[in-house]
Structure 1
Amino acid sequence: MSTVPSVNADQKATLEARLTRFPAQQIWLASQRAVSYREVDSADSDALPLVLLHGIGSGAASWVQQFEVLGATRRVLAWDAPGYGASTPVAAESPAASDYATVLKEWLDALGIERCVLLGHSLGALIAGAFAAVHPHRVAGLLLLSPAGGYGAASADVRETKRDQRLAMLKELGPLGLAEKRSTNMLSAHASDEARAWVRWNMSRVIPHGYAQATHLLADADLAADLARYRGRISVAVGVDDIITTPDACERIALAAGTQLQVVPRAGHAGYIEAPAAYTAIIDTFCRTSDGQRSQ
């Protein structure tokens, strides 16, 4: 059985050195809540901004490889979702995707971003879908990587079971134990030791309260229903070895969105970390096509 290596001193130094190019920032919104984020701002004013939304066990720092490449041609921003990093949690103990989408709108307003390419990974896809359904004019293109579909369409028993299992695991293990137990599932057998350490490092930094709120979101959201309300450009991609949001599950999301699923070889759930070249190429191609949709 494979094990997840600890982040040794050299790996940690390398990661932190790369992150220093994109330091964490914080902005206060009109609602008196804070959002922390990382950004690289290219001088290319013709390209639409790219906004990146991370999954339940991650954060803004996970996108550094995409910053390094895509930031050369466009403004790229990644937030720490409410309850992650230094971002203020949403108010509800059992929030809906719309609660996070409301904060996303406020954040984009505060940064002066009227229209963007919106990318959601895993849980981030639920927030992205909820935002696009209500504010379609703000989204030139919606790219979903290994999207979580949510359990909103399932029975109450299924929703409660999925929620309670994850909450119990969080309570038992805490962030460090969660990273030890769950990070292996995030990657394929082809992942490098550095990618494994990176995923573990990001997951170990989650804040229990924010993770618990996101668990409630996951239990009650219904991505397919939100996508049915959005008429803009959508693309869906998944790693062939993703065992969390499997290719079959993502195929159903792609069908609901009226698009074809892209399947990436030699990649698992956190494909953009372990196979950055392949995923960054997918993102770049989608962004360049979306640039033509600058107007509503």
Structure 2
Amino acid sequence: MMASAALQHAMVELDGIALHTLRFGRERNDAVPLLCLHGVTGTGWLWHDVAQQLCHGRQVIVPELRGHGDSQWSRDAAYATDDHLRDLEGLLDALAIDRCDLAGLSWGALIGIRYAARHPHRIRKLAILDVEASFEQPVDAVPQRPESFPDLQAVCAFERAANPGAPEALLQLFAAGSVRPGENGTWVRKHDRFFLRRWPFRNDDVWAQLASLEMPLLLLHGADSFVRREVMERMAGLAGTSRFHEVAGAGHLLPLEAPHVVGAHLEEFFQA
């Protein structure tokens, strides 16, 4: 069993797309909320343990991107970063959040950078987790991964191989939250099949937006990630109020593999 602080599920309707959100802790007037964004093929459950650490004294809101988790899929495959950016704008307006802190992993970080550049007065601090500001690979260079699994044990085994450092309870929660029942007793990915073929963020280049940011930035890199440390260090060098840390023994999915370390870095950064 996994102990969990107060957790609410909510669906927010945004111009034809319903976004599922996980909300940890309770809303407080004396603390800005924290939003945490996941990456491609991820779900909000990736952030569970980190959100548990950070929700004491503030509310932590974890939306699931369109086409992912329990959020609605786009009928016309409108999955560009601009589409997610508009969703984030609509979500914050719908929740009447005038100002917040934001932490984004991978694609979620790119969305966060774009939002912060467009609405600098609405982001107090921004944490960027394990992503490069531009890409050399084309959008259709997607790593092969199974679409379905014979049982939940197979899902956990796949996630364990990809994320060897993840705590067992969190890994099981993330694995179970990433699939739904399919045909003939199988389990299928909750995300749109579109993402088995194309990753639209590979068209992104946010170097200019990143250089324009004036709010404090925290950049976290997984020491065992495919994301290049030297690129993230160069990203950190663009802003005078940025910090860079590398998380030892962790790969790309930092909140999954090193939740306590990531939570500690985020807590120190956002409370400073």
- For the aligned pair, the TM-score class normalised by the smaller chain equals 0.7 to 0.9
1:216 aligns with 2:199: yes
1:252 aligns with 2:237: no
1:26 aligns with 2:33: no
- Over 3 Å counting, the alpha-carbon distance change for 1:148 and 1:89 in structure 2 is farther
Give 1:247's aligned amino acid. Answer: R
**Larger % of strand: which?**
2
1:174 aligns with 2:158: no
Give 1:266's aligned amino acid. Answer: G
Question: 1:61-84: per-residue Cα shift (whole Å, max 9, x none)?
Answer: 222212322111101100010111
Give 1:56's aligned amino acid. Answer: V
Percent identity at matched positions? 25
Aligned pairs, how many? 259
- Over 3 Å counting, the alpha-carbon distance change for 1:136 and 1:275 in structure 2 is same
Give 1:254's aligned amino acid. Answer: A
Give 1:18 deviation, angstroms: 4.0
- Partner residue, 2:184: none
Q: Where do 1:149-188 residues align within 5 Å? A: 149-151=133-135, 154=136, 158-159=137-138, 163-166=139-142, 169=144, 173-176=146-149, 183=159, 186-187=162-163
- Structure-2 separation of matches of 1:223 and 1:182: 32
- Over 3 Å counting, the alpha-carbon distance change for 1:80 and 1:269 in structure 2 is same
Task: Give the secondary structure class of the aligned counterpart of 1:24.
Answer: strand
Give 1:102's aligned amino acid. Answer: R
- Over 3 Å counting, the alpha-carbon distance change for 1:150 and 1:66 in structure 2 is same
- Structure-2 separation of matches of 1:43 and 1:126: 26
Task: Give the secondary structure class of the aligned counterpart of 1:280.
Answer: helix
Extract unaligned runs of 5+ from structure 2. 180-188
Which TM-score applies when normalising by structure 2?
Answer: 0.81
For the 8 Å contact 1:50–1:77, the answer to whether it is kept is yes
- Partner residue, 1:292: none
- Partner residue, 1:46: 30
Give 1:48's aligned amino acid. Answer: V
Q: Work out which of the residue numbers 101, 114, 127 in structure 2 matches 1:130.
A: 114
1:231 aligns with 2:214: yes
For the 8 Å contact 2:41–2:191, the answer to whether it is kept is no
- Partner residue, 1:73: 57
For the 8 Å contact 1:175–1:206, the answer to whether it is kept is no
**Larger % of helix: which?**
1
- Over 3 Å counting, the alpha-carbon distance change for 1:209 and 1:257 in structure 2 is farther
- Partner residue, 2:91: 107
- Structure-2 separation of matches of 1:207 and 1:114: 30
- Over 3 Å counting, the alpha-carbon distance change for 1:174 and 1:148 in structure 2 is farther
- Partner residue, 1:282: 265
Task: Give the secondary structure class of the aligned counterpart of 1:56.
Answer: coil
Q: Work out which of the residue numbers 75, 80, 84 in structure 2 matches 1:96.
A: 80
Task: Give the secondary structure class of the aligned counterpart of 2:11.
Answer: strand
- Structure-2 separation of matches of 1:95 and 1:252: 28
Give 1:102 deviation, angstroms: 0.8
**CA RMSD, Structure 1 to Structure 2 (Å):** 2.9
Which TM-score applies when normalising by structure 1?
Answer: 0.75
- Structure-1 separation of matches of 2:156 and 2:233: 29
Give 1:283 deviation, angstroms: 1.1
